[in-house]
Amino acid sequence: MPAVSSESSKRLTIVVPCFNAADTLPSLVEAIAESECASEWQVILVDDGSTDATADMARSAERTHDFVQSIILPENAGAGIARNVGFAQATGIFTLFFDADDTVHLNALAAAVNELERENADIAILPYVFERGDGSGDTAMNHYDAKVWEALVGAQDKVVGHLDSMAQLLGMSNYPWNKVLRTSTYRDAGLRFGSSLVHNDILGHWHSYLHADRIILLNSVICTHHIRSTGQHLTNRASRDRLYLFDSLDETYTLLEAYPAFRARYAHHYWSFVIRVVEWARPRMDQRDLHEFAARLQEHISRIDLADYFSTSLKWNPMLARRLSQILMN
């Protein structure tokens, strides 16, 4: 399927990868349909080889709503591939990648589009909340994300700047659904998500910041991310699926190697991100997979540029450099 013309006909495209989302997709579509902005938006539903009624629902939504386009993929290839396919068809001036089982806060989304236009920015990042299926009642952002957000935004409504003054953003969770992107910027830059079944949003996360000249942080919740006790969420994935993490990290580091100045400037942020995500994944691995996990981690860290290592050790983060060395020597 060829990419659409770069000439935009909508203000916003929402790309929604869908896999076995029959229970949640209709409510997302109807919520958007009730928005005052629906006529200005394009919603692309990409069914990723679902085995339930999701594909039929996507087709039905396309028949019912003029703003909906459905794309049905022949097999499950992962949300990253689905996002890439959807993005190629985006006609909106801006693009949001959203999930079929989450709740979009439409007023915040509309405000993000307005601010991107007003500030002539490439990307807007907004906070999110959780709704957890374990009944814990914990709705806060991930701890690191909340810490970064407080440091950069605090009580302000909006902060506008460049990555050099906001580099902590690189270490935040690699969710795609709290970022609104200027379509032309990222289409010209070749934005893509990873090809693995899981962890495919890591590549998109780094792509998003690599090519952002002007960044908006807008202090309004854009997404309620629902974590159910069962289902397709990464939290519920089998141990071996988490080994895809290293495929995604390898893809991402290859991207950084293609931009040496960016890699050198932000290497300590990248390797700190790697350590954090690895420490999240390791306790979730089955014992039988830990040896392969450790080997893949060593293999990935061995790619570090020596100049980056020494600048991390001597200037940016000596503790991080020691941690990387310990992993390589074990």
Q: Give, in order, the Cα–Cα distances in Å from 157 to each of 12, 98, 169, 267, 277.
A: 22, 23, 17, 30, 29
201's enclosing H/E stretch is: helix 201-210
For the CA atoms of 248, 251, 254, 255, the dihedral, rounded to the nearest 10 degrees, stands at: -100
Instruction: Please say if the pLDDT value at position 280 is more than 80.
Output: yes
Structure tokens at 197: 């079944």
Q: Which of 144, 230, 239 is nearest to 198 (CA)?
A: 239
What does the pLDDT average to over 66-74? 98
* pTM of the predicted structure, to 2 decimals: 0.93
Q: Which of 317, 306, 209, 210 is nearest to 272 (CA)?
A: 317
Which region among 19-28, 73-82, 138-147, 264-273 has the lowest average model confidence (pLDDT)? 138-147
The pLDDT > 90 percentage for the chain reads 88
Which region among 56-60, 87-91, 96-100, 282-286 has the lowest average model confidence (pLDDT)? 282-286
Q: What are phi and psi of 250, to 5 degrees?
A: -65, -45
Q: What are phi and psi of 68, to 5 degrees?
A: -100, 135
Q: Give the per-residue pLDDT at 240.
A: 80
> Which of the following CATH numbers is that of domain 10-236: 3.40.50.11390, 3.10.20.600, 3.90.550.10, 3.30.70.100?
3.90.550.10
Question: Quick one: pLDDT band at residue 129, thresholds 50, 70, 90?
Answer: very high
How many helical (H) and strand (E) elements, i.e. helices and strands, does the chain have?
12, 11
Q: Give the per-residue pLDDT at 6.
A: 46
Q: Give, in order, the Cα–Cα distances in Å from 158 to each of 128, 151, 154, 180, 279.
A: 15, 13, 10, 15, 32
CB 155 within 8 A of CB 248: no
Q: Give the per-residue pLDDT at 238.
A: 61
Convert the pLDDT of each residue in 297-328 to its tens digit: 999 999 999 999 999 999 999 999 999 999 99
CA distance 198 to 19: 12
The pLDDT > 70 percentage for the chain reads 93
Name the 3-class secondary structure at 175.
Answer: coil
Q: Give the per-residue pLDDT at 234.
A: 46
CA distance 123 to 180: 6
- Compute and round to an integer the Cα radius of gyration of the chain: 20
CA distance 238 to 8: 41
Convert the pLDDT of each residue in 46-55 to its tens digit: 999 999 999 9
Instruction: Please say if the pLDDT value at position 35 is more than 50.
Output: yes
